[in-house]
Every structure is written in structure tokens, then in C-alpha cells.
Amino acid sequence: MKKWMKAGFVAVATLLAACGANTTKTQETTVSVSDAQANWDKIVESGVIKVSTAGTLYPQSFHNDNNELTGYDVEIMKEVAKRLNLKVEFTEMGVDGMLTALDSGMTDIANYSIEEGAKNFDDYLHTTPHKYSFTSMVVRGSDN
């Protein structure tokens, strides 16, 4: 079970990690096994997984009435860290800085939704989507 958890976390961490120099790019982004293992080893050695999150996007990442960071993305990361015996360290920042923080190594995971087809989408690995958004518009009937 622990091997499965470790493999799962390595997959999650690398799914959201920037591609390193030893990667090959096909239609989908890939990260080499050695890069993934090196990233995982750094996380285990430090005992902390560093996650960037907005803290302002309800219900994914926001502050509750007690000013505590929560939301389903935050709670998922807390549970992943708990199951892997790691501490999770959240850094709140604007969405526009999350990929830069990831690229620079300031964070291990950018915890926000990036739309498929977005400019930088293929430069990063992703988890299976767990949120779907639909855009709609409401107008008055008289505004035909």
C-alpha cells in the first residue's frame, strides 16, 4: 500500500511539475522517471510539500469565517500530505504567479485549474480533472 501511495504521489507531484531538461515532448508532456524521482526525493528529504494556491477562489481555495485556508483543493492536498507523512505548506499568490513559482522551484505544485487548450497547458503535467466549469449567460427576454 505504501509503495502504491508513493507511486501515486510521485505521479501527482510530477503531473503538476514543470518539465525538466531531460524531458521529451510529444503531444502530451512527459517527465522522465529520474526527474520525477529526484523531485520526490527532495520532497521526502524536506518533509514538506510546497503548494501554491490563490486563497480567494471559492470553493477551491478560500478563507473560512475563522480566517483558515480551506476549500476542496486545499483539503485534498492536506489529505495527500497526511497519508504520505508530509507537512503541507501553502503559499498564497495570484494565479498569474503560480506557474512561475513552480518553474523556479519555489513550490512543488500549483494548485489551481488550468484550462485545456490554454497557452501554457502543454508545458505542464496535470491530474485527472476533478472540477468542471460551464460558462453561461442570462439576459432579459426583451434583449433579443
Query: Which tens digits make up the pLDDT trace of 18-42?
Result: 434 444 444 444 556 777 788 889 9
Q: Which CATH class is domain 2-18+31-123?
A: alpha beta
Range with top average pLDDT, 67-71, 110-114, 117-121, 136-140: 67-71
Contact, 120 vs 98, CB < 8 A?
Answer: no
Contact, 25 vs 39, CB < 8 A?
Answer: no
Predicted TM-score of the model (pTM): 0.67
pLDDT digits (tens, 9 = 90+) for 6-15: 545 544 554 4
Distance from the Cα of residue 27 to its chain's centroid = 21
Domain boundaries of the chain, sorted by first residue: 2-18+31-123
Q: Which of 98, 24, 21 is nearest to 61 (CA)?
A: 98
Contacts for 48 with CB less than 8 Å, ≥ 6 apart: 86, 87, 88, 89
Pick 58 or 118 by higher pLDDT.
58
